[in-house]
Chains A and B, each alone.
Chain A
Amino acid sequence: MSMKIWGKRMLALACAGAMLVPLAACGSDADAGKIRLSYLSWDNEQTSKPYIDEFEKENPDIKIDFSYAPPTSEYISTLQTRLVGNQAPDVFIITSENRDDLIDNGYAKDLTDESFMKNISQANKDFVGRDGKTYGMSITSWGSGIAYNKDLLKQVGYDEPPANWDDFLKLCKKLKNAGIEPFLEPNADEPSRFIDAFQGSILEKKGVDPTTLSTQDNQTPGTDELEAIKEYIRLYDEGGVTRDTVGISGDDMKTQFTNGQVAMIVDGAWDFATFEQAGMNWDFAPMPKLGDDYTQYAQGSASPAWAIYAKLDGDKLKAAEKFLTFLSSKWALQKRNDAGDAVTVDGFDATVMTQYQKVYDQDIKTGKYYLHTNFYSKPDILKSELKAQNQQLVQGQITPDQYAKNIDAKVAAAQ
């Protein structure tokens, strides 16, 4: 072998060796001997880091291997790939879109009797539960309501939106006649939030437990909400709200509202910071109820929950349980609360923004919130079909009965 070739080989070997140096640093001495817990989050690193740092400080024998995928479809497909590829994270997120698949395929551990589940509210347990068992720990909830421009409402003699649906429609008409855009909802992005709020109160009046809906053999989510649909479409038929909402996204709606071009929008706490920054005179009211015979409901849901991989055992399982215990600790709940999340853990005294207080007290704390897709199998299919049919309904291309029939047919085909 010539010196030239020998020299080249030595150089290549040195380069390869140099590339291994950073890898060696990955398993640094500081973490040697620690229990490594993998956690696939859908909150980014900036949001998650304070919790992880505090947990590792309190548990110096555990190291969290953090990874992140953004919600919702990207998170679900990332988790799916890791589960099928035997690279399952030890702690991950369970939510309505992957709940049935994770439970059916035995990926999520039954957490029902765990000590950290003791103070979790029943509505949050129901969200990730089945047959009396709970498969995730959800500590916050959200509810939507009516964000309104106080100055524009004052122009037609109102201080706040009325609590009844009939009166709400009258207000819309009055605003329209005064040349003010009364109301907008982002139908280009999602099905109407009103329908869910109405459906929650209709089910309560009928005495139907929504958690039983997904156990039915032939699910009919369209027909089930027909009464709510017929009430909802009055917004366009009687309230004079523009049918152009079909082409309006959440961002469009928000921009219109902060620019003072619309009196009311249907929204949630996630946009409050934008309203504050805009310096507008605004407030937030609960969703109107159908009538005096009905209980007022919000469209809302428990937030996604943390789940533990079902095949964990030994030290790793203990570490995962410690992590969930920490995430439901007073320190972590307060941190969540400070970040603006509506904590719904029993015994925790949450504080929310003044504008959100009424919805928090009336709907979230009492569990008076409902999200149609949470209570049927194949929620992802249902959600996209609800949006498409909602758009056609608002356009006037289909009747409420056709809406119900189309939804039922889609879900039946998927089942």
Chain B
Amino acid sequence: MSATMQGSAVGNLPPLDEDLYRRRRRARGLHEDVTSFWFLLPILAVFVVLFLVPLAQTAYFSFTDFNGYSMDMNWVGLDNYKKVFTDPSTLQGLGFTILYAIVVMVGVTVIAIPLAVILNRKFVGRDFVRSVFFFFSVPSLAIMGMVWKYIFSPMKTGVVNSVLAAFGLGPVPWLSNNSLAKFCVIFIAIWAQIGWHATLYLAFLQAIPADLYEQATVDGANKWQQFAHITLPQLMPGIVTSTFLLMSGGLKVYDLPFTMTKGGPGYSTYTVTQSIIQQGIGQSQYGIGSALAVLFFIATGVVVFLQMGISNLISRRFE
């Protein structure tokens, strides 16, 4: 309404006044931009100092043999990158990291959405149940890893093995078998994160207008049809956010596998971040650690942008 009035007012002005008005509007816009810039300056400075400068330094170090003890370093070209691609432990770490990120993302999403739907219904003790599920995500994954290490101990006296023994079953080599160790790490990551992501979905669920379901009921839609055609499409923004967080977090995972298995047995639960920290800082191979970090930065960027692109395409389909 006001825009129409404004437009008509401008249209009635003589040409000179209209020009003056545009200049004033441009000046005001510029003034607002400058004001916004000053507000953004602190965070820009933080971004440049804490992100761009270290990133540029990392990229530079990746072409050198910097060992952390002397600033006299030699340019080694792509040697560090070649070493990264030929090191079996790094490649194994990359394999597990990708497996972890994908399985955790799919697992959490598949469980958290139905859980959120259930938690959105009315039942006795609903708030308590919501709190319990959310509580799993409160302790850090590093603490979780240390606790679950005892629960999944491969010894007869391990918590899970003791329970199995009570049913007459033999001990299972949870953390001493490569496949089972991978399973344990991924299982705990899913278990620990479903509550938080269910809460996220719950917020989106509560924003879905109730009349959509009422109309669907009148039209004869069953519960599954309502879920597939109303709930799921309406949750798409939430799914995009949740999967983005899970994928980016999964690719950077370090704390849980490290505290639970230290990357073992062998290199079966070794991750790229552990490799960067171990080789770069722990073993003073800053050149190799930096090359790995640069490659990982690019790979993570590509994967996350791809995932966002696909999610956006799917969400547009439901609009």
Q: Interface residues, chain A, CB within 8 Å of chain B? A: 73, 76-77, 80, 83-84, 101-102, 104-105, 107, 188-189, 242-249, 252, 256, 259, 261, 378, 380-381, 384-385, 387-389, 391-392, 395, 397, 406, 410, 413-414
Contact = CB atoms under 8 A, between A and B. Distances in A.
B155 A244 contact: yes
A246 B266 CA distance: 9
B233 interface: no
B237 interface: no
B153 A247 contact: yes
Contacts, number: 102
A243 B154 CA distance: 10
B282 A380 contact: yes
Of A76, A389, A391, most buried by chain B (CB within 10 Å of CB) is A391
Interface stretch (B124-132, B172-180, B191-199): B172-180
B68 interface: yes
A107 B261 contact: no
B68 A73 contact: no
Interface residues of B, number: 37
Nearest to B278: A384
Given A188-B175, A245-B176, A380-B282, A391 B70 contact: no
A188 B285 contact: no
Contacts of A385: 89
B147 to A, nearest CB: 13
* Interface hub of B89, B171, B175, B282 (most chain A Cβ within 10 A): B282
A252 B155 contact: yes
B264 interface: yes
Q: Is the interface of B mostly helix, strand, loop or mixed?
A: loop
B187 interface: no
Contact of A246 (B67, B69, B265, B281): B265
B283 to A, nearest CB: 5
Contact of A101 (B67, B173, B176): B67
A188 B284 CA distance: 23
B157 interface: yes
Most chain A C-beta atoms within 10 Å of own C-beta, residue among B262, B263, B278 = B262
Contacts of A243: 173, 176
Interface in B162-196: 171, 173-178, 181
Given A247-B261, A378-B283, 7 more contacts: A73-B281, A244-B154, A248-B154, A249-B149, A259-B157, A388-B267, A389-B266
B71 interface: yes
A261 to B, nearest CB: 6
B211 interface: no
B68 A247 contact: no
Contacts of A387: 264
Contacts of A245: 176
Contact of B175 (A80, A105, A107, A247): A247
Contact of A397 (B89, B155, B181, B266): B266
B70 A105 contact: yes
A236 B142 CA distance: 32
Interface in B129-150: 149-150
Closest 8 CB pairs of A and B: A247-B176, A247-B175, A244-B154, A246-B176, A247-B154, A244-B176, A392-B266, A391-B265
Interface string B56-74: 0000000000011111000
Contacts of B266: 388-389, 391-392, 395, 397
Contacts of A397: 178, 266
B280 to A, nearest CB: 10
A80 B284 contact: yes
A248 B155 contact: yes
